[in-house]
Amino acid sequence: MINEKGFTLIEIIAVLVILGILAAVAVPRYMDVAAQAKISAARAEVAEMKSSLNMAYAKYFLSNGSVPSNGSQVIAAAGLTSGSAANIGTAPDVWNVTLTGSGTSVIITVNSYGATADNEYTATGTWNMPQ
């Protein structure tokens, strides 16, 4: 019995308890990080749409020699339809983007595509025509 080696039952239980405590702390933090990443991705899509609207504004100006009179013209210059949703992106990051022209601004709403109430991520923003 002197040369027998191995772990006692108490040592194994102690390791399992420590692993359980670590898992109980780490899993909720991981879930929060994943949710925050989706929210940040939705905000990034809003920023991307603002950039696209800036480019469409410049394209309209260069094509017509004058600035657009309202946000709906800029949306049309971007190849989109005001007020209707467009699914943008590639799986798994597909976003439902709605652009609404309102005077000299465009309201951007981004929702996660095909989301249920448990995992819906939304971001909004406003693009204003340059002065």
For 64-93, what is each residue's pLDDT tens digit?
999 998 998 998 888 888 877 777 776 667
Question: CB neighbours (10 Å) of residue 47?
Answer: 13
Is the torsion defined by CA of 78, 79, 85, 91 positive or negative?
A: negative
Q: What is the pLDDT of residues 39-64, one digit of tens each?
A: 888 899 899 999 999 999 999 999 99
Tell me the one-letter amino acid at 45: E
> Structural domain boundaries of the chain?
9-128
